[in-house]
Amino acid sequence: MSQAPGAQPNAPSVYHERQRLELCAVHALNNVLQQQLFSQEAADEICKRPLSQLALPQVLGLILNLPSPMSLGLLSLPLRRRHWVALRQVDGVYYNLDSKLRAPEVLGDEDGVRAFLAAALAQGLCEVLLVVTKEVEEKGCWLQTD
């Protein structure tokens, strides 16, 4: 029996999904878990469901990676790049701190930031990172359990 170059004798079977479309997050989850547990639809549902369960007072801020249209002067190009945007609560008010804005944009209370997040997620191809303290991360209290 011949082995592939670099293969080790009696090597364990390793689950590995290859890239398809732009589903790298799904592939990464399944590869880490070593089985096909997540589909695109399941991952999308998970992203939408915790939105209402986020314990926003426990979250220092949010960082979004969004598609951003490109332009050349007044001419809009049919290309999209990725752009990182920060959201943060200051003195009880949530703000969009997008570096492309002239000034912070008021989002309002928790309902306002949830509406902003829902709109961003509805556009598709949006990633949301939560910024929390180590204590909040360790306790997992960034999600409401009720």
- Position 88: which residue type? R
Residues in a beta bridge with 63: 86, 129
Residue 140, Cβ neighbours under 10 Å: how many? 11
Q: Are 118 and 52 in contact (CB under 8 A)?
A: no
- Position 21: which residue type? L
Q: Is residue 47 flagged as an active site residue?
A: no
- Per the listing, tokens 């008021």 go with 106
Question: Of the listed 27, 47, 83, 141, which one is catalytic?
Answer: 83
Q: Is residue 24 flagged as an active site residue?
A: yes
d(CA 80, CA 77): 8
Q: Is 6 exposed, middle or buried (0-12, 13-18, 19+ CB in 10 A)?
A: exposed
Angle at 44 between CA 42 and CA 49, to 5 degrees: 90
d(CA 113, CA 96): 9
Catalytic positions: 24, 83
